Structure formats: structure tokens, C-alpha cells
Structure 1
């Protein structure tokens, strides 16, 4: 269906809302009537030619066969589809025989709806159409709406027709249904100032996806083919994939049996998808309604081909309880085995941040790939994503783990960057991911990136955000790039490992100075996390706070509310607990004793300072917890780059352990300090320094590089006392099209810019002279 025909149908149906529903529904509710009536009229058009045959079958089953209930198979055969209607009514007949009695029309319409097969009744229920019929009948607009939808000036059939003036009305294909449906949704959302939750995939994008999926294996297709879309929307991808395989013009495999499977969470789009399946003679039971992420309804099934345009930038927080229990993965679709940098394998969560679940749909498809041990064909996937799937997420995070799992298992064949503004409801950059678990030899261990962002032609008129499209020659060109795998220009070939990196944590020693002083230890009266409110209370009531805290509880709570201080329940309990205040006062007393014994000398070696504190505590038989001691240290110490390094502990390493350590770190003994082991005067003793979290940094080291060599080359010359915290090393994967396809454009020379400025000044001066001359002439 061409865009002009598409726009005419949309305009006609939109006019129904304006003409018939304006005073009956608020504008935001027009869609509740228009969308289901549009689908219903489509089904009605398909059943009209076989209506007499169906009624004959109903009569035969009732009178001749004596069946108490209808035999669905006989009725399906009579209708020619996998659905039917056993009532004597059609929408045209309802209009032709309508009386001025709205109750009778509503009753006949409901009888018409009741006559449908169960699969259509489910669609009617998903649209909540029965309640809309009652409301329209009550407002006396039902007949007017039916007249509009059955008008001879609109053709919703799959066959070409003529209007009353003899003008040709093009047929409405199943994909055309999807276009019209999506455009109506877009217009309704604009009216309501809403954002569309999904982005309908343009025909030419689906065409490209089907070429990429099927062309490489067109001579090896099995006689029975299964196709799956986990976010099938109105079913356009599924039906187009089927047409591409079996249509004579597709020249793929005309005799193949194709079985379509899909799942959709939105009731409206599910309803139109299921109606599409019925219209085309596919099994509508293979289309399910609900959340793909929350419920694995196709568990155990594996598919030959999968293609999808999952929702991106859409939260999956509502599905989390079905997937995660805390940090534990309950649904094995979203858990993958990965090895750490030492080669130790463990199962990790492959779940992205809750604000964007698009990669979970990709993992769902990866989970549904055919096991190569059970058949030679394997599976192929094409999935549309936005740019965040390429690079969002840090090493060890869910998004990175998903990319890593896909690339390290050598599933990723190619990623194709599409032009901006190609989709109807979004102008952002989009990409087609192409996956296979049975790569041809030349693709093994490789990933192809294709930059097709500049391959498009402009539309005469925008369709929503869509202002461009692929021409057939663009699809052929991109497909050929994919098949030929050139490594030049818009097509580049990379090793799998080119996208991976080690995220290495680089530590630097903590250097602290310390000094007791009355001002510093005064802060110990308060819990650090509650210091502001505790200091306010102490200044207000002084030592009375220790004996009469409960008397001031309400005043403290009022202060928190007035100052908009939001404390957790735990911190509120701590604040209002007398033991908290007493223990902090006791800790302040300990600090005063230590200051009296040690004095207020400035220590530039924190190690000596802590030794003196420990000795003083022991001499005075004072026992405090490690956390209390740390609170004292934090109160009287600070970072100072001129201070000595703070020692964490000493290590005594035997010869055997030393050899094992050198093997593990892949370094020589004199290079141990690169990994945090600094030799002392003893031959078997090494010191480990406390790290300064404020100076901590990370380096992304390419997988093809050696961590130790990279560190000595890129880090050590600049920070000679840094070391690698090897235990914190993680592996990440990301893909950056800008990095690989960016072409530097040199700035214009200063002389060129100056010349242009002088030319503009001369032109401006000439224009001013003309204006002055013109003014003088007028005088």
C-alpha cells in the first residue's frame, strides 16, 4: 500500500471520530471506539464473501447433523479463515435493516458480536468493545458510526474496489492495516500529549531485516520454518517474514511451511496482531498476550528465525519481581556463564538497569536459539535497538555482560546503523543487530559494522517523526555490503576481542597527617551521619539533652519536618536513642584522655600516630571498638600529600608462595609493587599500603593488551607509586560507531576566515551607503 492510500484511509477514519464522537466522548477517548471498530470492520470485510456458506454450514450442523454445539472446524472451512461468525448479521446488514430504535440496533450488534468464534471474541474483549457499543447506543451515534465504517468510499478489504463514482480504491494489505493502525495511535497520542510506548517499524526497515536474515541461507532453508517476535506489536514483522519466504516474488522457498509465534503486552496491538494471524490463515493461538519478560510462555521452544523491534527506553521495573529475587536471578533466560580475567567461570546476572529493558528481549531471543547438537540449521536473529544498547553500562554491569555473552559466544554477525528519523515516533539513532549461532567460516570470530546512516531518500511529507525512508536500491546496497563483508568505507570488520576491555582499578597510597585539638575532637560528640541535627539539639539544650531527650522528642521531630530533613527509620531511631548520645559523649571523653597523653603535636607519619594511640589505650586499659577508634582517627586526621604513606599490613611471603604469586600476576619479583606489594629491607617481607579512595582511578585496557604492560607504559611514568588492584579487575564490552566511523574535518585556515570576514564587511558597508543615498534622495 502506498503512502497516499494510507493517508486517505487514516484521514477518513479520523473524520469518523470528529463527525460522530465529538459530543459523546472526550477527545482522549476517541481511540477506544475507533481502533476496535477499525479491526472489526476489517474482519467483517473478510467474512462477507463467505457469509452464505457459513450460514448453510450452521443450518446443516443444527438441522441435519443435530449438533448441540457448533463444530468449529466445519465453520472455519466454510468461512475460509480460522475464524467465523454464526450470526445472520454483517455490519452492512445491521446498517441496512436498522430501525430508529437504538435499543434494537444495540441488541442486534451484540448478537453479531456473540456470533464470532472464540478467537475473535477475545479480540473484542481486549478492545472492551461491548461497553463502547452500549455507550454509543445510549448516545444515539451507533448507527452513524456503522454507516461511516461501511461507507463505499473507503476500502478496508484485501481486494481492489470501486467507489460510487467508479474511482479505484486500492486494497488494504495486512501490513497496510499495521500502518493505518499505528498512524491512528500516533495521532491519538498527539491529541492527548502522550508519548507512544512502542515504535512501529517501517515497511522498508522490515524489508531490510528480512533480506539480511534470509538471503545468506536462502539455499539451506528447512521445509518447516518457525519465526518468532517477542515484542510483536501488530504483527508486521511476522507477516512480512512469512511473505518474504513463501511469496513467489520473494524467490526464497515457495513451498515452505511457515509457523509464526509472537507475544505482545498491549491489548490493542495484540488484538490487531491476532486478527492478522487469523486473516492470513496462521494459527492465532501462537500469539500470546502478556509480558514476555515476566512469563516465558514459549519455554522449551526453539525458533529458526527471530526478528523484533523491542521497546527501548522503557522501564521493566514491573517485571523485576518475576526475574530477580534481590540480586539472585530466578529466570535462567537472564543469567549467563562468564569467566573472570583469571579464567574462573561463574553465573552472573544479564539484566540491564530497570529503566530500559530492550536488551532483555535480545536475551530472550538468544535463549530461544536452536541447539546446534539437535539440528544443522541453527538460528538467526535481527533486532532493532537504540544506541544505548551498544555502550550503556559499566564493565561487569548487566548491559555489558549481555554484550559480552553475545560476542564471546560468537553470536554477533553485524550491526547496521540506520538513518535518523526513519521511524514514525522517534528521531534517535537506531541499529539492527544481526545474530547467528551458526556463522559461515569467514564470519567466525568477526563482527561487521555497517554505517547506513546516510543511505536514505527524503519523504515529500513527514509521517510523524519520520522524514526519510530506504529506497529499494538502498536495501540492495546494504544487503550486498552485508553479504560481501568489505573492510572499507561504510563497512568495517573487527575481531570479537576488539570490543572488549579490562577495567583496571589503579590505587594510590593514602598519606595522612594527624593532630589532636579541642576543635577536632569536639565533633566526636555526634554521630557523623547525624552531626547536623545532633549539633543543633546540643546547642539548644546543652547537657540537658542527655537526661531529658524524651522530653524534647516532639521538638526534634518538628525541626526535622520544618527543615525537610528526611531520615531513614533506622537513623531516626538512633537519633532519639539516649544510648547514642551517651556513647558519643563517652567516646569524646576517650579522645580527651588521648589528647592529654599524646599532646597536640602534628604527626606527618600516621603510622607513628596510630602506634602512640594504641599504646595509650593499652596503658590506660581503655577498650573501644574498631569503629569507634576509626571515628577518632577520622576526626583528627586528614589527607596531606607531604605526609608518609599509611601502612595497612606487612606480608611475609615464602619462596613457594612468592613463585605462585609471580605466576598469578605475570610479573617479575622487582615488579611486584605494580600490584601493591612493596619490598622492605627484609628479603621475604612486603608492605601493603592503605589506598586513598579519593585518589582511586580506573583504566580501560584493551583485551588484546597485557594489563601489566599497559600499566607500566601508560600509568607508572606519571604516578610512580600507583599499583593495580587486580582483584577489582572486570571485563567489559562496548561498541562505538562514532569511534570507528568518525572522519576528521580540518578547520578552515585563519586566512580563509579573515578573507570572508573582510568580504562581509565590504558588502555591509556598500549596503549602508545605498541606504544613505536612498534616504538623501527622498529628502
Structure 2
């Protein structure tokens, strides 16, 4: 039997919701608890049937009832007194409409405590998880509870194994994802992406008697985690154990329910980033599709105070993807492998020196990244953006040391016959195998490029440029030399003037130490400073105004035409080179010797500006410095001094795999123009006719 025959049957349960006027976006939250309910019942009944086969019908019949019930409970998959003690299923309950309300309520209460918590049977002030109680109340208000429950009770999943039920669950979750990104689709990973991740992981593991541990730190409903496990089990006979954590109530509950019917699986509830439930464990394999662009300001303090050492840098509070990445790396054992889904921001967001750039550089410094794969757009149900698979490997082959493979799989897809929300394409098996083959060969091909990891580093060299005048002179050359403590000499940063007057074309200032103010207009000298002197000084512009500073021995102004400071004395004019005339106003507090006052100062400085140059990086310090100097000699023509150099890191697929559109031939263009002329001529003839 094909379990997918039940897909349409399950989906038909929403007919009553539609007829009751319940919005389509609410259907997933109302279908999830009932899907979980029939899934639990079918698996419990199947578990009991298997127990009968193992022990024997006769032995079961002869057992003390309490011993039998304890045996069922010890299986750890759940318990329901209605099922095992009264032999009543959900379908049986729905046969009697007179006792349905009471029986259904008692049936739900007959589950074990954990199942009731996950379903949300007894909702208190805590977590609702699947909130079946809230859904029941809504259905009662619409007077469709019994009909809705009856529809679900007719879905019999007993003949199917865990993997088959998981397959059906993924299909149903995908339909929910089409409807609402706020529910099951929030972290739903398409089956073809799961298959690709599984193939990648399978290509790196070998048959062994050792247990293979698989971890997902943001497992959602578990479709990625369990999907990877099932695919690996298809290829290998290895024993596996799955571990997952999520803090979405409904999705956690779905994953937790699923985990109870797997041989070795543990799902925990909570926020991985500030409450890691597996803090003392490491894993062989990790996979995740963490949320994109979700901020972490709500738990910022706990992240900043984290003592585990897993977060080497904290990215922008607006996007926590790289927090998840650092966490995942910390959870891998010495030979661990991870394949993680991200959007493009993890590749290139953040400038050199930013936390995002530093996280990427830290990953490359430690040679953790083996490959990055660009998926096609329109792959996910709720977004059409590009997504990327990061392959993290703590045990890279020696020949791949310090190497990184980029795979552009953006064209490796087949169109879907029918769109599924935003999902319009899928990576089919043929393309998946080609991608994995490229990864295995680890060589250049038409859609893959191998690089040294240092290809993705760059220098962000800060420099201080000094602007020259039209003759190439700067005011810096006129500054006096100063002797430093170590005996070396350097030029002064500026020259202070002692002005006797300052003119801006409208106002002439002769008092440079102000203690008086208009008491009718200002309450005190501080208010006069804030409202008059400071704004006036800030508005002075030596380039835009005829600003003239006069001292006892000379006058200074800026000549815009020649871009130079001009000094005029009795002897004549002297061009001092390009520079700035800086006027400052400072409010000085009262001292024992001096009253409160406003000091107006004037200084001459070189005309400098800070600039940055982006220069390719070389891991050899001598070569790197030589490359920087060669770049400056070739491209920077103004006088400058070196400031800090910061090494950044980014991975930009567009720069590497950009394919410009081919130009049409001249003949083709002329042919099209001739065709257009004929069309226009025929239209004109038609008008005149």
C-alpha cells in the first residue's frame, strides 16, 4: 500500500474548516493536533500488535492485566487507557454521538502525562504545544467538533512503518507550509534539499559498527533531522541516534511525538542559543536550517553573558544565523561533519572587522569549511531567494587542507509541473548526483571552482590622504618638526594662530576670550554658547566664505582657485599649500584664577581625509605588505600615510560565477530593425487607407 493515498484523505478533513468560515491560514494550527492524535493512536496500536507477535497471543491473554499495561508503558512510546484497558479507539468513540463529548474528553485524558502535555490536553499557563484544547473549543463553537473528529478517526495509519508515516507527515507539512510561514512552514525544508544534504553526508561516511549521532539545533517538526536519518539508513546498516531541539511549541511537539517511535531519538524543548539542552554532548553529524534574518535582541543579555565559549563573535542583533553556525561547529566532535542551510547574508554581510566578517574568517582560519553550494532560487515554499549549503568538516582530507570548493547549483534543477507556494523547482536525483560527484572530485568543472581559502580574504587598508594644491604642495610641509621622546622627529599636527581679528565677510570678531553676554536674551554664558557662539563657529567655512584670520604679523585666507592657504605679510603673499583653517569655540569652566569663559581658537592643519582601499590578501606577511605597497603606488596619487589594516573575509558567488549575457550580432540587430520598419510602414499605410 502507498501511504500517500492518505494525503488527499487527510487534506479533505479541512473541508469542514472551510465550510465553517475558518481562514485557510489557520488550518495548519487546527489540523496539526489531530494529525498528531491519529498518528499516535495508530503507532500505539501497531506497537501493541507487534508486542503480541513477539510474546504470543496466548501469553498475552494469560498475563496479569497490570503487568501487561506496565509492559506497554515500559516501551516508552506512550500509553492510553482507553486503547489498552477499554479497547476503544477514536473511531469507536465517534460511533455514538450521544456520549461523544464525554468519551472524547476522557479519551484525551487517558493518555500518559507527556502525550497530554505535547497535545495540549490540559492547558495551564505554561506551554500549549499543539494546543488541542484550544482547537476543540473553536470547533465546538462552530458546532463541528464531532464531524471533524470523525473525519480524522477514519484515517488508519497502522499498516505503515515509521519511515512511511514520516514521508506522509512531510507531504502534509509541505501543504501547511504553502499556506502559512507562521506555522509548519516556518522551518520546513523541501524533500529534494533533504535528499541532497543526505547524499552529501552519505558521501563522507562509511559502513561501521559504530553508532552515528545526528544533531539538529533548530529541528522544527523534525523533517530535516529524521529525513537525513532515513536516507542514511537506506544506504548504510549503521545504527543511528538523532538529537534535536526547538522552541516553537507546535513544531517541537510534532518532532517529539515522532521521536518516541524511533529506536534512539531525543528531542528537547527550548532555545538552543541560550539554553542548550545537549551542552555536554558532541555529535558525528549536524544538519540544520536555522531561521533567516531573525533577531536575537530578546535574549541578547544571555548570549552576551554566555560562558560556554561557543560564540567567538556576536553578529548583528538583527540576524542570528551566524550564532547558530558557531553553535553547530561547537557541537561537532573531532571528526564531525555538518551541512547547514543559510541565506546569502552569512556569506558576505558585514565589512572587514565586523563580527560577521570575523566569524567567516575564524571558520576559514581553522579550515572548517570544505564547500559551499548555491541552491536554485524558488526552492523553498515561503521564499524565492537563493539559499546555500555550508559544508563544515572538522576532518578534511589532507589534500583538501586550506582548500574550499564553491558549487554553483543554481541551474541544477527541473521545473515543477505545479508550483507549491514559492517553490517552483526541485533538484532532481540526476542533478543531486552531479552535485555530489563534483564535491567528491573536488576539482574545477563548469559549475564548480576550487580555491585556496585565502582567496576569500582581503585587506581593508586604511590610509590618511593629504590633499595637495594645484602645484602639488600641502600645508604639512610648512609644519614645524618636533622631537619625540625616543629622539626621532615628526611633524606637528597643526599650527595654532593667535588672532587679533577674524572676518567671515559679514562679522568681524576681535574678542577671542568671551566672558560677557546679553542677559536679556540668554540666561547665562552657557546658553549664549549653545545658542549663538557654537552655531556661528560651526557655520564658518573657509572654502565657502571670505574667511580672513589676522594676527599681529600676518593675514591668512584660503584661495579656492589655487586650493591653497595664502599668508600675507608686509613682504608679500606666500602660498602655504592645501590646508584647512579650523575655528573652534569651547566653553571653559570657572577656575580659581579665571572666570567662566568662551575661548575662540584658530589653527591651520593639513587637508586630510581618511580613505580605505580593498586589496587582495596573501597569507605571507612580507608578500602581503609588498602587494599593498604595489597597489598604492599604482592607484593612489596623493600623499598619504598608512593607518590600520584589517583583514576581512567574504564569499561572493556573483563575482566568481557571473555570466554576462551574450551580445547579439550586428547582423541580427539590423535584421530586427528591418522587420520593425516593415511593420511600421504597413501600419502607416493602413492608417491612410
Give the conservation status (yes or no) of the 8 Å contact 1:197–1:311.
no
Number of the residue aligned with 1:131? 134
Partner of 1:360: 323
8 Å contact kept, 2:403–2:451: yes
Return the match for 2:104 from 105, 109, 114.
109
Q: Distance in 2 between matches of 1:71 and 1:606?
A: 99
Cα distance in 2 for residues equivalent to 1:173 and 1:119: 21
Aligned partners of 2:105 and 2:252: how far apart in 1?
22
Query: Which residue of structure 2 lines up, in the alignment, with residue 383 of structure 1?
Result: 340
Does the aligned pair in 2 maintain the 1:516–1:601 contact within 8 Å? Answer: no
Match of residue 42 from structure 1: 39
Q: Contact 2:24 / 2:179 at 8 angstroms: preserved in 1? A: no
Residues 702-734 of structure 1, C-alpha deviations (whole Å, 9 max, x = no match): 2358454334333334544443534x2211111
Where does residue 677 of structure 2 map in the other structure?
Answer: 761
Cα deviations by residue, 1:71-102 (Å, 9 ceiling, x for unpaired):
9862245xx66222122342111101331xxx
TM-score (normalizing by structure 2):
0.77
What are the equivalent positions in structure 2 for 1:564-575 lying under 5 Å apart? none
- Map 1:724-735 onto structure 2 (within 5 A): 724-726=641-643, 728-735=644-651
In terms of fraction of residues, the more strand-rich structure is 2
Once the two structures are superposed, what CA deviation does each residue of 1:476-495 show, in whole Å capped at 9, x if it has no partner?
11111111112221121111
* Residues 767 and 195 (structure 1), Cα distance of their counterparts in 2 relative to 1, 3 Å cut: farther
Determine helix, strand or coil for the equivalent of 1:279. coil
Paired residues of 1:419 and 1:453 also in contact (CA < 8 A) = yes
Once residues 230 and 184 of structure 2 are traced to their aligned partners in structure 1, the CA distance between those partners, rounded to angstroms, is 28
- Matched residues in 2 for 1:216 and 1:50: separation? 35
Matched with 1:186 is: 178
How far does the alpha carbon of each residue in 1:228-263 deviate from its partner, in whole angstroms, 9 at most, with x for none?
Answer: 00111111122122223333xx2x2x1x32111111
Give the match for residue 612 of structure 2: 697
- How much does 1:202 deviate? 1.2
Higher helix content, 1 or 2: 1
* C-alpha distance 486-586 of structure 1, shift in aligned 2 (>3 A): closer
Secondary structure of the residue aligned to 1:183 is: helix
Q: Aligned with 2:13: secondary structure? A: helix
Conserved in 2, the CA contact under 8 Å of 1:517 and 1:595?
yes
Residue of structure 2 in register with 1:272 after alignment: 254
TM-superposed CA distance for 1:158, in Å, is 5.6
* Separation of aligned partners in 1, 2:119 and 2:646: 52
Deviation, 1:188, is: 4.3
Conserved 8 A contact 1:106-1:133: no
Distance in 1 (CA, whole Å) between partners of 2:282 and 2:30 is 38
Report the counterpart of residue 262 of structure 1 in structure 2. 244
Answering whether residue 667 of structure 2 is matched by residue 747 of structure 1, we say no
Separation of aligned partners in 1, 2:318 and 2:652: 21
Distance 1:402 1:240 in 2: 29
Look up the match of 1:321. Answer: 301
C-alpha distance in 1 between matches for 2:44 and 2:292? 37
Name the counterpart of 1:664.
Answer: none
Change (3 A) 1:600 1:367: same
Paired residues of 2:368 and 2:392 also in contact (CA < 8 A): yes
Q: Relative to 1, partners in 2 of residues 1:708 and 1:31: Cα closer, same or farther, differing over 3 Å?
A: closer
Cα pair distance change 1:279/1:624, threshold 3 Å: farther
- Are 1:422 and 1:467, in contact at CA under 8 Å, matched by a contact in 2? yes
2:640 to 720, 723, 728: 723
Pair 1:172–1:53, CA change in 2 (3 A): closer
Cα 1:53–1:299 shift into 2, 3 Å: closer
Quote the offset at 1:105 in angstroms.
Answer: 2.9
In structure 2, C-alpha distance between the alignment counterparts of 1:147 and 1:523, rounded to whole Å: 93
* Cα drift, residue 143 of structure 1: 0.7
Aligned residues of 1:16 and 1:148 also touching (Cα < 8 A)? no
Distance (Å, rounded) in 2 between the aligned partners of 1:17 and 1:214: 42
SS in 1 for 2:648: strand
In the alignment, what sits opposite 2:224?
A: 237
Q: Residue 98 in 1 paired to residue 94 in 2?
A: no
Question: Are the aligned partners of 1:127 and 1:268 in contact in 2 as well (CA < 8 Å)?
Answer: yes
User: The residue matched to 1:173 in structure 2 has which SS?
Assistant: helix
| Deviation (angstroms), 1:760 | 2.3
Name the structure 2 match of 1:346: none
State the alpha-carbon separation in 2 of the partners of residues 95 and 719 from structure 1: 83
Q: Which residue of 1 aligns with 2:145?
A: 142
Moved more, 259-268 or 119-128: 119-128
Structure 2 unaligned regions, length at least 5: 121-128, 468-473, 476-494, 512-516, 538-547, 559-564, 566-575
Is this contact kept in 1: 2:38–2:152, CA < 8 A?
yes
**Residue in structure 2 matched with residue 602 of structure 1 by the alignment:** 557
Aligned CA distance change for structure 1 residues 26 and 477 (closer, same or farther; 3 Å): closer
Cα 1:282/1:109, change in 2 over 3 Å = farther
**Structure 2: distance between partners of 1:72 and 1:601:** 101
TM-score (norm 1): 0.69
Residue aligned with 1:260, SS: strand
Q: Residues 402 and 608 from structure 1, CA distance in 2 versus in 1: closer, same or farther, beyond 3 angstroms? A: closer
CA-to-aligned-CA distance 1:29-55 (integer Å, 9 cap, x gap): 444422211211221222234568999
Question: Residues of 1 paired with 2:506 and 2:71: CA distance?
Answer: 91
Conserved? CA contact 1:186–1:196, under 8 Å: no
1:18 and 2:30 matched: no
8 Å contact from structure 2 (residues 615, 631) kept in 1:
no
Q: How does 1:531-610 map to 2 (within 5 A)?
A: 543-547=519-523, 578=524, 580-582=526-528, 601-602=556-557, 604=565
Q: Distance in 2 between matches of 1:353 and 1:736?
A: 19
CA 498–9 in structure 1, closer or farther in 2 if over 3 Å, else same:
farther
Cα displacement (A) at 1:280 = 2.8
Whether the 8 Å CA contact 1:322–1:331 is kept in 2: the answer is no
Alignment partners' CA distance in 1, 2:681 and 2:158: 68
**295, 311, 322: which one pairs with 1:334?**
311
2:268 and 2:593 mapped to 1: Cα distance? 70
Question: Cα gap change, 1:718/1:225 in structure 2, threshold over 3 Å: closer, same or farther?
Answer: closer
Q: Any unmatched runs of 5+ in structure 1?
A: 161-169, 336-349, 372-377, 526-540, 548-577, 638-643, 647-690
In structure 2, the residue matched to 1:683 is: none
Pair 1:438-2:425 in alignment: no
In structure 2, what is the Cα distance between the partners aligned to 1:628 and 1:507? 32
Shift of 1:211: 1.4
Residues 518, 133 of structure 1: alpha-carbon distance in 2 compared, 3 angstrom cutoff: same
The C-alpha deviation readout for 1:591-626, integer Å capped at 9, x for no partner, is 9xx978658642625999999999xx9xxx99799x
The change in CA–CA distance for 1:724 and 1:227 in structure 2 (over 3 A counts) is: farther
In the alignment, the residues of structure 2 paired with residue 522 and residue 40 of structure 1 have an alpha-carbon distance, to the nearest angstrom, of 87
Whether the 8 Å contact between 2:502 and 2:510 is mirrored in structure 1 is: no
Q: Which of 422, 433, 443 matches 1:476? A: 433
- Cα distance in 2 between the residues matched to 1:440 and 1:177: 38
- Aligned with 1:492 (options 449, 454, 477): 449
Taking the TM superposition and a 5 Å limit, the aligned residue runs for 1:210-221 are 210-219=198-207, 221=208
Change (3 A) 1:521 1:433: farther
1:556 corresponding residue in structure 2: none
CA spacing shift, 1:133–1:71, aligned 2, 3 Å: farther
Contact 2:3 2:165 (C-alpha < 8 Å) held by counterparts = no
Contact 2:502 2:508 in 1 (8 A): no
* Aligned counterparts, 1:677-716, within 5 A: 692-693=608-609, 695-704=610-619, 706-716=623-633
Match among 23, 30, 39 for residue 33 of structure 1: 30
Count of paired positions = 605
Structure 2 counterpart of 1:207: 195
Q: Relative to structure 2, which stretch is displaced further, 300-309 or 46-55?
A: 46-55
Query: In the TM superposition, what is the alpha-carbon distance from 1:698 to its structure 2 partner?
Result: 3.2
Q: Does 1:428 align with 2:385?
A: yes
Change (3 A) 1:408 1:35: same
